[in-house]
Amino acid sequence: MMYPADPTVTDDDDRAPRRIHPLVVAVLLLWLAPYVAADEPRLVEEVGRREFRIFSDGLPLTEGGNINQMRLNERLERLDYTRVKNKPTQPGTYFWGTQTFWIFQREHIHRGRPIKARLFGLKLSNNVITGAVDGGEKEIAVDKRDRLWLEPELLAESLDGDRAKRIPFALADMPEQVWRPLLAAEDARFFDHHGIDARALGRSLWANIKAGKVVQGGSTITQQLIKNRDLTPKKTLGRKASEAVRALKLEAQYSKEEILEAYINFVYLGHIDGLAIYGYATAADAFFGKDLKNLNLAECATLAAMVQGPNRLAPHRHPNRVKKRRDWVLDRMLELKWADAAAVARAKQQPVATKLRERPPIGMSRFLGWVGEILGDQHKKRSKRQRGFVVYTSLDPLLQEAAEHAVARHTRKGLDTALVALDAETGGVLAYVGADPNNRSDDFDRARLGSRQPGSTLKPFILLEAFSRGFGDDAVTPASRIADEALAIDIDGKPWKPLNNDRRFHGTVSVRQALRQSYNVPFVRLGRAVGYDRVADRFEDAGFKVPRPIPPSFLLGSIETSPLSLAEAYTVFANGGVRLEAKPIWQTEKPNGGRLKRYRRETDRVANQAGAYLVRELLADVVANGTGKGGRLKGIHAYGKTGTSSNQRDAWFAGFAGSVVCVVWVGNREGGNIAVSGGNQAAKLWRAFMQEAAPARPPKDVKKPMNVVQAWIDPKTGHSVKKGKRGAYEEHFRRGTVPNRKRWWRVNKPTDVIY
């Protein structure tokens, strides 16, 4: 659709357009060439090279997922899908049936891979996904390699998290009264010039040359688009020359409609609560609480008025000032005969009234800061030249919101918090809160950069080493018996006497009991028996740094780590002994297309499957019956471990459920004693988040390894007994490590105690 200049404007009119002769254009290009070459050696081929778009990851749609718990309809509505009453017939719609959930997916890009528009149905049984079919209802194989995904969601348009998400809008869908005021105010001859206005250019060039600097504008819409999107705001003759040349080239490549649509979608229109507003549709929502197509003439003229000085003419802060400019725009429309006198009079009588939408605090700022560091490190030249990026991250937007809300609700005054959630399949960072999202003045990222003592969350890694050794009587198993008695270890001639948190000793306990109640002394004994060096090596394999010489207190978590590193380490137990490196990004691209870098899943085997599985089962017991009770989840198996540093300065809860690994830290930035515990503050926050997060992600089950067997154990002696014997419990063992059977015809001595 073409939008010609108004026919009432003639060549005799003082404002009439002047066509630029091709020879004049050629001479002008030659004249401007020295400025362009000196200022910008590389001519921009496409608009928007400095733009940033940061996307979430797509959601995998796999068998076993409950669409209610996944909040599938909410996720689709966040992506602006429309619910319909029958099987969808066009992209961007979905139908929730009793037996099939149909989605007509739009064309999109997922992790750099283009996906065509497609219709598919998720087969349901009590809202649980049992399979998938295509549009012709032919079954689709849904496996790890060929999963169905929801498309990514746009998270942010700047690395500072200070830019409101743009709401794109097609020019064909805009009423004419949306863009006519803009042309009246900024470029009435837009549809008749070639990108530069000859008369305005000559007038401004002469004024600028006389002054030796830029003192007068005269830029067209095309020139403004170039300046705002592709150039820095530097005001020099060379920059103006570059702007003019680029405008001519842009007009040769794109239609007037495309240029106007791009301008309206990208123009800067001020700040609200620290968020920059770009684009008319975003501004309509932000300032007036309306869709762009529903704005009246006065509101459209207000947006056009703001372009000249978005913050100076902000309608929520300076209504009188912007009204004066708005009324000038309306008078200009009347002068151009683009609006009738009655409509202009009615619009001028309306006050400047705004309806600001409440905007949640930006909790992703630490995550975006991490992304920015990666871009700066991996793409040094591009970052230095301020080129833009399209970034496909691993973040799940629903889990990120759940994490921010949980932290905001459960962080008591005077405490600091960090939360990290990883995908147990890929290591992707699903949610990331580096500090209280309500506190914008605190920009330190405690999730990644905060190093604190993790306390008893390290005890499971002692067991990884212990469970890997020997067979028969030499093996350490969950049923092995340890002395919980007073202990003194000589360190440089001074005795170190570890104590339990309750300041009591409990006699002989099993490994299971020791972990369940987080007793310190038994784990010091176990670590000494296994060997400090071997345990330290296992810690380092899991990603921790152990000082040398090795202090015995490292067994109780006296080393330092970050929540992110601890989360990476706990993927070992959720993933069968394999440690996953946290991945915040899956792919980076140029704004105009073209891959820059793909980031792949990185793994490292830390323990054998049997050892990791035994620890996993013990972690389930910690949550069900031990110090981790505060992390119990309704209807979901949870695995975790509490941790509290010395003097109660740091509280931790590390664990996993389904396919989500999560670590929470609660403490104080000053490191003072604030009387926190892993089983209280940290566990409550972990539970609040994981109760929403675990069911919202695809299910994950770790099968029992072939070399893991089960046997019934007498807790008093540690011997195996017949199934179901009174007082006995069922335990897991590596094959070949089940304790001797207790016989009724002879008295067996209790199994050996680890001293």
pLDDT at 543 over 90: yes
pLDDT at 751 over 60: yes
Q: Are residues 142 and 175 in the same domain?
A: no
Distance (Å) of CA 561 to CA 554, 567, 695, 734:
12, 10, 29, 31
The confidence score (pLDDT) of residue 652 equals 95
In a domain, 11, yes or no: no
Most confident option among 14-23, 238-247, 318-327: 318-327
Task: Give the number of domains in the chain.
Answer: 2
The confidence score (pLDDT) of residue 1 equals 45
Q: How confident is the model at residue 515 (pLDDT cuts 50, 70, 90)?
A: very high
Q: Are residues 75 and 35 in the same domain?
A: no
Q: Are residues 96 and 170 in the same domain?
A: no
Instruction: Point out the least confidently predicted range of 174-188, 388-402, 439-453.
Output: 439-453
Q: Are residues 175 and 127 in the same domain?
A: no
The confidence score (pLDDT) of residue 388 equals 82
Q: How confident is the model at residue 670 (pLDDT cuts 50, 70, 90)?
A: confident
The confidence score (pLDDT) of residue 235 equals 59
Cβ count within 10 A of residue 313:
23
Most confident option among 127-136, 191-200, 223-232, 244-253: 127-136
Of the two residues 619 and 46, the one the predictor is more confident about is 619
**Given phi > 0 = left and psi -120 to 50 = alpha, else beta, which region is 276?**
beta
| Residues present in the chain in total | 755
In a domain, 126, yes or no: yes
Of the two residues 200 and 711, the one the predictor is more confident about is 711
Q: How confident is the model at residue 387 (pLDDT cuts 50, 70, 90)?
A: confident
The confidence score (pLDDT) of residue 233 equals 52
What number is the average pLDDT over the span 145-154? 84
Q: How confident is the model at residue 17 (pLDDT cuts 50, 70, 90)?
A: very low
Q: How confident is the model at residue 325 (pLDDT cuts 50, 70, 90)?
A: very high
Share of the chain above pLDDT 70, in %: 85
In a domain, 663, yes or no: no
**Residues 416-475 pLDDT 10s:** 899 999 999 999 999 999 987 766 667 789 999 999 999 999 999 999 999 988 777 789
Among 116, 151, 186, residue at a domain's last position: 151
Q: Are residues 177 and 297 in the same domain?
A: yes
In a domain, 49, yes or no: no
Among 105, 122, 151, residue at a domain's last position: 151
Instruction: Point out the least confidently predicted range of 218-227, 261-270, 425-434, 653-662.
Output: 218-227
Most confident option among 148-157, 186-195, 665-674: 148-157
pLDDT at 201 over 80: no
The confidence score (pLDDT) of residue 2 equals 42
The confidence score (pLDDT) of residue 680 equals 87
Residues 471, 735: contact at Cβ < 8 Å?
Answer: no
The confidence score (pLDDT) of residue 542 equals 96
pLDDT at 358 over 90: no
pLDDT at 360 over 80: no
The confidence score (pLDDT) of residue 337 equals 94
Residue range of the domain that includes 81: 58-151
The residues pairing with 423 across neighbouring beta strands, listed in sequence order, are 660
Most confident option among 28-37, 359-368, 640-649, 690-699: 690-699
In a domain, 206, yes or no: yes
Among 151, 175, 199, residue at a domain's last position: 151
Instruction: Point out the least confidently predicted range of 200-209, 316-325, 495-504.
Output: 200-209
At 683, the amino acid letter reads: A
The confidence score (pLDDT) of residue 239 equals 65
In a domain, 172, yes or no: yes
What number is the average pLDDT over the span 369-380? 91
What number is the average pLDDT over the span 497-516? 94
What average pLDDT does the chain have? 86
Distance (Å) of CA 501 to CA 3, 216, 385, 454, 539:
77, 74, 55, 15, 23
What number is the average pLDDT over the span 293-308? 95
> Does the global pTM surpass 0.85?
no
The confidence score (pLDDT) of residue 145 equals 57
Instruction: Point out the least confidently predicted range of 80-84, 169-173, 390-394, 533-537.
Output: 169-173
Of the two residues 181 and 144, the one the predictor is more confident about is 181
In a domain, 651, yes or no: no
The confidence score (pLDDT) of residue 205 equals 67
Q: Are residues 28 and 115 in the same domain?
A: no
Cβ count within 10 A of residue 173:
11
Q: Are residues 126 and 177 in the same domain?
A: no
**Residue 107's CATH number:** 3.30.2060.10
Share of the chain above pLDDT 90, in %: 58
Q: Are residues 147 and 273 in the same domain?
A: no
In a domain, 375, yes or no: no
Q: Are residues 328 and 244 in the same domain?
A: yes
**Residue 202's CATH number:** 1.10.3810.10
Of the two residues 751 and 31, the one the predictor is more confident about is 751
What does the DSSP assignment read for 610-655? HHHHHHHHHHHHHHHHSTTGGG-BTTB--EEEEEE-GGG-EEEEEE
The confidence score (pLDDT) of residue 29 equals 47
What number is the average pLDDT over the span 669-680? 75
Cβ count within 10 A of residue 82:
12
What number is the average pLDDT over the span 476-502? 92
Q: How confident is the model at residue 207 (pLDDT cuts 50, 70, 90)?
A: low
**Given phi > 0 = left and psi -120 to 50 = alpha, else beta, which region is 19?**
beta
Residues 697, 721: contact at Cβ < 8 Å?
Answer: no
Residues 545, 569: contact at Cβ < 8 Å?
Answer: no
Of the two residues 717 and 242, the one the predictor is more confident about is 717
- Nearest Cα neighbor of 659 from 694, 707, 616, 631 is 694
The confidence score (pLDDT) of residue 242 equals 74
pLDDT at 14 over 60: no
pLDDT at 204 over 70: no
Q: Are residues 119 and 214 in the same domain?
A: no
Supply 513's token pair. 């009991």
- Nearest Cα neighbor of 33 from 224, 25, 205, 231 is 25
The residues pairing with 484 across neighbouring beta strands, listed in sequence order, are 507
The confidence score (pLDDT) of residue 236 equals 60
**Residues 587-599 pLDDT 10s:** 999 887 788 999 9
Q: How confident is the model at residue 581 (pLDDT cuts 50, 70, 90)?
A: very high
pLDDT at 95 over 80: yes
Q: Are residues 205 and 141 in the same domain?
A: no
Q: How confident is the model at residue 651 (pLDDT cuts 50, 70, 90)?
A: very high
Q: Are residues 209 and 299 in the same domain?
A: yes
pLDDT at 92 over 80: yes
Using alpha carbons only, give the angle 90, 92, 97 rounded to the nearest 5 degrees. 80
pLDDT at 356 over 90: no
In angstroms, how far is CA 400 from the centroid of its own chain?
A: 6
pLDDT at 12 over 60: no
